[in-house]
Amino acid sequence: MRLSAQIHHWITAASLALWSSVSAAEPFSFVIVGDQPYGTGAEIHDIYLGLVDAINDAAPDLVIHVGDTKSGGTFCSDDLLAERLDYLNRFTAPTLYAPGDNEWTDCYRLVAGAHDPEERLAHIRATYFDEPATSFGQNPITLTHQGAQGYPENARVRLGDVMYVTAHVVGSNNNFEATRPGAAAEFAARDAANKQWLIDSFAAAGDAKALVLAIHADMFEFGFGPPWDREGFLRHSGFAGFGETLIWQATEFDRPVLLTYGDSHVFRMFRPFPRKGPNIMALETFGAKHMHAVRVLVDADGPYPFAIQPFINPEQPLRRTPRK
């Protein structure tokens, strides 16, 4: 059996086994949400909080927000960022958060208030991550983090036999922008820290049976097309070094790795590196266009540990909100 067919068989068998056992014993689960809420109106607020309430009613063991808590067309003000921090803490479950580009990288835009992106990033670190050893959510858990190196947003926690890791990799080419003063230097330092964080996190995973990595960026298609051809990286990409390190570490780990992200607002699951990193599965969650989420059931002892289910927002099963 070819490897691609074998992995498809693992996923199908695991999904069937997990879902058939839900009524007997609820497995560990986590929910992924990202790229929402966009806009600031009351309707957007109500639709998003409807999703938050539904997630809380489903009682997952963990929530992961993969960034872009606001649109690129809304002000990056202290007040708006504080409001979105409150949203993160509305989840009953412990919550992890990987910052997106709309929270800081894209804040230089006039429509976003013409802020200095690095200043906005410093503000987020000082407010969102003032206690980096503690997760978000109403029932926080203790995290290991990279705060001593200046990157408190990079966090991890082992829950059962799975290691959960966040890394600060954002859209807009990961802030690898030569035309903005300070951007390239910021990128280079954070990219080096992210790569080291990957190495440390895979090492810390030890005998874990799987690893979940949450970032914001769609490293594969968003914006200017694929930054690499899936197996070879282009030097102008802000994702190249991180992607190469991920393939290297996942290959040595030699167990399932689930890379979850947002950024381009398309719910999909695929293998981004079928030759060099066949044990890496990519899972992108819904975005602001639909304002849904994704639920993942975990059975670390199954043939494949992750079963995926769309988590539909009851406040808008058919409606769409405009992308800004």
- For the segment 118-171, what is each residue's pLDDT rounded down to a tens digit? 999 999 999 999 999 999 999 999 999 999 999 999 999 999 999 999 999 999
Q: Which residues of the chain have pLDDT under 70?
A: 1-25, 221-236, 317-324
Count CB atoms within 10 A of the CB of residue 228.
18
pLDDT > 70: percent of the chain: 85
Give the distance from CA 157 to its chain's centroid: 15
pLDDT at 229: 52
- 59: closest CA among 29, 36, 88? 29
Q: Is 144 exposed, middle or buried (0-12, 13-18, 19+ CB in 10 A)?
A: middle
Name the CATH superfamily housing domain 3-311: Metallo-dependent phosphatases (3.60.21.10)
In the chain, where the domains are located: 3-311
pLDDT at 40: 84
Q: Tens of pLDDT along 215-225?
A: 999 998 644 34
Q: How far apart are CA 235 and CA 226, in angstroms?
A: 12
Q: Tens of pLDDT along 271-288?
A: 988 888 999 999 999 999
Q: Is 132 left (phi over 0), alpha (psi -120 to 50) or beta?
A: alpha
- 275: closest CA among 308, 323, 230, 313? 230
Strands 280-284 and 144-146: unpaired
Q: Is 120 exposed, middle or buried (0-12, 13-18, 19+ CB in 10 A)?
A: buried
